[in-house]
Structure 1
Amino acid sequence: MSSPTRRTVLRGLALAAAATAVPLPAFASSLAPAGYVPPLRQMRGMWIASVVNINWPSKTGLTADQQKAEYLAWLDLAQARKLNAVFVQIRPTADAFWPSPFEPWSQYLTGTQGQDPGYDPLAFLVEETHKRGLAFHAWFNPYRVSMQPDPAKLHPDHPGRKHPDWVIPYGGKLYYNPGMPEVRAFVQDAMMDAVTRYDIDGLHFDDYFYPVNTAAFDDSAAFAQHGQGFPDLAAWRRNNVDLLVQEMQQRVRRAKPEIAWGISPSGIWRNKATDPLGSETSGGQSYDSLHADTRGWVKKGWLDYIAPQIYWYIGQSNADYAKLIPWWSAVAAGTGTQLWIGQAAYKAGAAGQPAEWFRPSELTDHLALNRNHPEVGGDIWYNANDVREDRLGSVSTTVTDHYTRPALGPLLPRLADGHAPRRPVLASAHRGNGGTELHIVATGRDTPFQYAIYRLDRPARSEDFADARNLVAVVPAGRHARWTDPAGAKGAYYYVTAVDRANRQSPPSQGRRVHW
């Protein structure tokens, strides 16, 4: 994903530490600022990268059971950090983490492209993620074909071998040519195969479209064939990416209208010195260097969410976090496009970073600043290794400061009026050895995805369910579910709502008061 540091990582620096569970600091609620109301809904995600085995699998050649154990440890970490979603890279280089009829098995599973890993990783990932009550967003890279430059090293059945005219070598890598309509249709087909066959919650792109600084990217033949009517090469390239984004929205809406479709672009659209609509920055511009009109996509309503990678510290001279958040908030305001922020956990306390990234409070200060901008609906952390390593305690400090209550996932505005689940029955609430034990029963034909549990010291009013002040847990649902509140006390009132996969919430159950 974006920034020179991150691109260096993706050129081959694989952080291959085994993804085993680590001891995590106890979660303790901090005092929120006066007047702060914890939101009922908030994106709390992390990226789990597979390219060059950055996160998962930690290395090639692991057995299926070892790969599964590693992934379960990442889910343990997500829950320990109070997250509610994971963004898992399942098509890193025109390959697949599922048995795809379009592209070969990924080499990052077994070490050999095209080799069957002995199980269906994507089916496993989705099922286990949902068992935890977490959302699974499938992360795709649309055009990158290989992290090396030799087409002959691709699997013999790889589409890039069958259609060598589709592939352009550039910068030590191989790319599909975004300017060829048949390529654009093919990569959509390859990604939609996963969307239609698996029970994913979102389709996600990162910031890679055209490679950076594409002066030597030889797409002149495609431009000659398809570029009529455009003033220059850059405008034609930008239109190619626009078509991909617009067409993906259309295809996702037709196939799975209740999943989220979004992109995590580089954090700078254009600098104000280049364009008066741009941000007060002087960094790389995605509009120009990647041919990605990220602001335009939001304004045209082509995305459910945008998650700009604002990987800079507060006060940075060329790209100030404190200036980019209000800029992106203004872009998203009134559009219906959700705004989530990509956070650079990988920079906090990392060797070679500026001194500002050694402030233990840098990341928690980011989320504190976000609170002043209601358009910001949450954050996604890059990457899972850094969320686990927690250098300087910066991630756990942020969790303690800002994730003081659980949160439901975001509700897309276009789905808000859909059919909510039926309210559950809170069959019982009584004191046990470990706290207050609740028994919850589903009432509708469809089993909910989650139950949201609220605790009050008095009978509830309707407004008590509008935010998270009284929300004590969000748990995976079932026809019958049991949950114990270790902090429950005699006299407390409990209510439960059912939540579906689109994060629509039912009316609350009848209340139960704990009498003993």
Structure 2
Amino acid sequence: MWLATVANIDWPSRPGLTAAQQRSELLVHLDTAAERRLNAVVLQVRPTADALWPSPYEPWAECLTGTQGRDPGWDPLGTAVAEAHARDLQLHAWFNPYRVANHTDPARLTASHPARRHPEWVLPYGGKLYYDPGLPEVRRFVQDAMLDAVRRYDIDAVHWDDYFYPYPVAGQAFADDETYARHGGDFPDKASWRRHNTDLLVSEMSARIKAAKPDVAFGVSPFGVWRNRATDPEGSNTNAGVQTYDDLYADTRKWVREGWLDHVVPQLYWHIGLPAADYAELLPWWDETVRGTGVGLYVGEALHKAGDPAQPAAWQDPGELSRHLELAKGYAGVGGHCFFSAKEVARDRIGAMAAVVADHYPTRVRPPG
């Protein structure tokens, strides 16, 4: 399961809890994962260019104390690794490479924040602040910041989610013209250059993880549609509004084919039969994508939609997610599933998670890899 910390989605339940309260809540989440017969927890440890460990590169995370840079009085990542392993759970450290803040005011960042020391690294877009992926010094810095955790802790994997270049916002342009003018001369267009920048982030990080700790896996959890078939005949039979290749400048299929990833966790957050993005269409597409590559495939599942009254009728059926796992049994490339998110695994509004466990997890299985 994913355990999200940005904006206190899952944990801590609110900023400003004592160290003991934070630790107690974390252990409850880990206990819940074990009770649900899961075998890995994907903990978000770098939510907004800040850290859930004492990092020499970035400030303490705001989600802990409510004040970015304030020492919470304990080491959440170190504790999470030890306590997960004590429960036979893998601990995957989840990092967001480029998101700096969910607002556009650099003055709200702690005074020592790298984004304030290097304002030339930062671009506002869509009401948020981002590091500019086109700057080589930015790519090196964010890799260094993440590798600090790899070197210092016995994590089982590095995990990235779906945020590379930001999701498009209507009527707004990501203002990297100056960066493109300086660094994009060898490319036919800005889109190709942006994809190359993301390729570099992934390929370089892959090599650096293997050089630092060969046993640490590297996984990425992209938005579930690489390209629609109408855009590219090799794309999926979907009509999604976002395509990672075109809109996020993330050629996720290439990363699998190049072997830069140990596993991929596409977010197939749609129900079976949805016309625009049918789970039953995307599952075989991803199975085919990993075939023969040696890259593991774990499917991201939208547990958060189960029982949400704003979702279509399919998500009001407690058996929808269990049917996803039943369908996946027919595809040899699928090695497992990852559920968003931890508080939903615990709350389980309509019993969808309980159905998954009853139908598919009669016993705990060994961790991935």
Output the TM-score relative to the length of structure 1: 0.70
2:309–2:316 contact (8 Å) kept in structure 1: no
Q: How many residues align?
A: 366
Q: 1:426-459 CA distances to partner (integer Å, 9 max, x unpaired)?
A: xxxxxxxxxxxxxxxxxxxxxxxxxxxxxxxxxx
Aligned match of 1:139 in 80, 94, 100? 94
Question: Is the aligned partner of 1:273 residue 2:230?
Answer: yes
Task: Tell me the SS of whatever aligns to 2:273.
Answer: coil
Task: Tell me the SS of whatever aligns to 1:189.
Answer: helix
Give the aligned partner of residue 359 of structure 2: 401
Task: Tell me the SS of whatever aligns to 1:216.
Answer: coil
| Structure-to-structure mapping, 1:161-200, within 5 angstroms | 161-200=116-155
Give the aligned partner of residue 160 of structure 2: 205
Matches of 1:50 and 1:409 in 2, distance apart? 23
Question: Is the aligned partner of 1:86 residue 2:46?
Answer: no
- From the CA coordinates, give the structure whose radius of gyration is larger: 1
Give the aligned partner of residue 243 of structure 1: 200
User: Letter of the aligned partner of 2:214 in structure 1?
Assistant: P
Q: CA deviation at 1:406?
A: 2.3
Task: Tell me the SS of whatever aligns to 1:331.
Answer: helix
| Structure-to-structure mapping, 1:5-404, within 5 angstroms | 46-213=1-168, 216-283=173-240, 284-404=242-362
Matches of 2:82 and 2:363 in 1, distance apart? 25
Task: Tell me the SS of whatever aligns to 2:59.
Answer: coil
Listed as ranges, the gaps of 5+ residues in structure 1 are: 1-45, 412-516
Matches of 2:2 and 2:266 in 1, distance apart? 13
Larger deviation, residues 89-98 vs 121-130 = 121-130
2:19–2:74 contact (8 Å) kept in structure 1: yes
2:3–2:44 contact (8 Å) kept in structure 1: yes
Matches of 1:133 and 1:374 in 2, distance apart? 25
Task: Tell me the SS of whatever aligns to 1:203.
Answer: strand
Matches of 2:161 and 2:235 in 1, distance apart? 21
Q: 1:455-503 CA distances to partner (integer Å, 9 max, x unpaired)?
A: xxxxxxxxxxxxxxxxxxxxxxxxxxxxxxxxxxxxxxxxxxxxxxxxx
Task: Tell me the SS of whatever aligns to 1:257.
Answer: coil
User: Letter of the aligned partner of 1:404 in structure 2?
Assistant: P
State the Cα RMSD in Å.
0.8
Q: 1:174-220 CA distances to partner (integer Å, 9 max, x unpaired)?
A: 00000000000000000000000111110000000000116511011
Task: Tell me the SS of whatever aligns to 1:391.
Answer: coil
Matches of 1:134 and 1:261 in 2, distance apart? 17
The structure in which a higher percent of residues are strand is 1
Matches of 1:384 and 1:409 in 2, distance apart? 18
Matches of 1:407 and 1:197 in 2, distance apart? 28
Matches of 2:75 and 2:366 in 1, distance apart? 29
Listed as ranges, the gaps of 5+ residues in structure 2 are: none
User: Letter of the aligned partner of 1:259 in structure 2?
Assistant: V
Matches of 1:360 and 1:89 in 2, distance apart? 27
Matches of 2:286 and 2:252 in 1, distance apart? 10
Matches of 1:243 and 1:172 in 2, distance apart? 26
Matches of 1:410 and 1:122 in 2, distance apart? 20
2:237–2:281 contact (8 Å) kept in structure 1: yes
Matches of 2:347 and 2:108 in 1, distance apart? 35
Matches of 1:105 and 1:148 in 2, distance apart? 18
Q: 1:204-239 CA distances to partner (integer Å, 9 max, x unpaired)?
A: 000000001165110111000000111111110010
Larger deviation, residues 120-129 vs 174-183 = 120-129
Matches of 2:325 and 2:96 in 1, distance apart? 28
Q: CA deviation at 1:122?
A: 1.2
- Moved >3 Å (runs of 4+): none
User: Letter of the aligned partner of 1:350 in structure 2?
Assistant: D
Task: Tell me the SS of whatever aligns to 1:346.
Answer: helix
The structure in which a higher percent of residues are helix is 2
Percent identity between matched residues is 57
Q: CA deviation at 1:410?
A: 2.3
